[in-house]
């Protein structure tokens, strides 16, 4: 794993996760604990409305943290209730965090790939509906990263479970001077929550 990413993950302070937030995250912890104990393949599909910001932050950090903690049977995906485009500041934040980011196409819904290590498989990044052929059709968990998506798709076909993992949308800062910093804060918030969930599940599944 690239040193800057390892340093960032090692610096996350899990004490920043409040007790009320821990209660909200407990169903996520419980699901992972059970499935890690069974040593089953776990597929997580992080779903937001537009698959442009929070769901990509969640997917990419989840896959990276899984590697960091040695979760060998966890695969992460993302999708939306509709496809738009991955917002530029999301990719900028990942590049600033130490990821290798390369664009494979440059159009309205461009495709990029990100790597957290030189020998890692790339994470393909583009906006798509949650039921896009790039994502699993069944045997996955729908992880809802925004309240709007949770309300817009009360039933996610093929999902074996549905878990809430919602965050405020950093989109409200688009176009303002503090945009990049606010996106970086959101990235860290999501990474911290995921590190808490995965670390707790790893402890409980031993």
Distance CA 205, CA 203 (A): 6
Domains and CATH numbers, the chain: 24-204 (3.40.50.2300)
Percent of the chain having pLDDT more than 90?
88
Half-sphere exposure (Cβ direction) of 53: Cα atoms closer than 13 Å: 22
pTM: 0.96
Residue 154 CA: distances (Å) to CA of 128, 139, 197 = 18, 18, 24
pLDDT in the model for residue 153: 77
Can you point out the beta strands (E) in 148-189? 159-164
Residue 178 confidence (pLDDT) above 90:
yes
pLDDT tens, 40-50?
789 999 999 99
Q: What is the mean pLDDT of residues 49-65?
A: 97
Residue 149 confidence (pLDDT) above 80:
no
pLDDT in the model for residue 49: 92
């Amino acid at each position: 794993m690239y040193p800057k990413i390892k340093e960032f993950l090692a610096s996350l302070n899990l004490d920043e996760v409040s007790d009320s937030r821990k209660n909200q995250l407990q169903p996520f912890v419980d699901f992972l604990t059970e499935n890690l104990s069974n040593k089953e393949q776990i597929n997580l599909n992080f779903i937001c409305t537009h698959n442009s910001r929070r769901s990509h932050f969640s997917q990419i950090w989840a896959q990276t943290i899984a590697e960091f903690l040695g979760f060998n049977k966890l695969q992460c995906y993302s999708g939306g209730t509709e496809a738009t485009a991955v917002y530029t500041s999301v990719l900028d934040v990942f590049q600033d965090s130490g990821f290798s980011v390369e664009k494979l196409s440059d159009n309205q819904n461009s495709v990029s790939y990100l790597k957290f290590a030189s020998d890692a498989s790339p994470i393909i990044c583009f906006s798509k509906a949650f039921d896009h052929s790039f994502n699993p059709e069944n045997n996955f968990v729908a992880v809802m990263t925004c309240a709007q998506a949770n309300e817009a798709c009360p039933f996610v076909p093929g999902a074996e479970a549905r878990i809430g993992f919602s965050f405020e949308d950093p989109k409200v800062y688009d176009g303002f001077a503090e945009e990049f910093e606010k996106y970086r804060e959101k990235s860290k918030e999501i990474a911290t929550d995921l590190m808490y969930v995965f670390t707790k599940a790893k402890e409980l599944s031993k």
